[in-house]
Amino acid sequence: MRVGVLALQGDVREHLAVIASLGHTGVAVKYREDLDDLDALIIPGGESTTIGKLADRFELLEPMKKRIAEGLPTLGTCAGMILLATATTGEPQHLIGELDITVERNAFGRQVDSFEADLDVEGLDEPFHAVFIRAPLVVSAADDVEVLAAVDGRPVLVRQGHMMAASFHPELTNDDRIHKMLISSVTER
């Protein structure tokens, strides 16, 4: 299986390492043609405004939007959640806009407010230890968006069809279960 990781900025190496540890081929996506023949896509954490501007500059926004709209299984983590969203609160930015949620950037605070939490995740038997760094938060979602995990009643892991998005950084832990959820969504198609 070929899993692409948007490689413009952010936690690219960490996601590629998890994909390799699961026995799959990780593809660093920097150009339009890198999207060809992918079985899944990960949009990593980093700085969402920067990633959005670079994706626009490298003419990747529309091709990603098209592939995701066609059903490419996709996981967005932290900044990736923001980019997948149809809207954000605050200043406008470049978005892929396929996941029907509105996201508040840095909802849990600044860098110094970063934290870790054990999450009860729908479909997982044991809690997932999650790392939140300047994390976004889902402030509204369409009726068909499933909340898979929450912190204090606030959604931090959601799924809509073939798309998943996490406020946290699963690639920064030794737990590969969120990535396995993405992989299993490919095999279920």
In three-state secondary structure terms, 23 is: coil
Q: Which of 2-6, 44-48, 104-108, 153-157 has the lowest mean pLDDT?
A: 104-108
Rounded to an integer, what distance in angstroms lies between the CA atom of residue 25 and that of residue 16?
Answer: 8
What CATH number is associated with residue 135? 3.40.50.880
pLDDT tens, residue by residue, 25-41: 999 999 999 999 999 99
The number of folded domains in the chain is: 1
Q: By residue range, what is the domain housing residue 120?
A: 2-187
Residue 114 confidence (pLDDT) above 80: no
Q: What pLDDT, on the 0 to 100 scale, is given for residue 135? A: 83
Provide mean pLDDT across the span 48-74.
Answer: 94
Q: Taking all residues of the chain, what is their mean pLDDT, rounded to a whole number?
A: 92
> Which residues does the annotation mark as catalytic?
78, 169, 171
Residue 96 burial (CB count, 10 A): 27
CB 35 within 8 A of CB 153: no
The structure's pTM equals 0.94
The identity of residue 78, as a single letter, is: C
The identity of residue 114, as a single letter, is: S
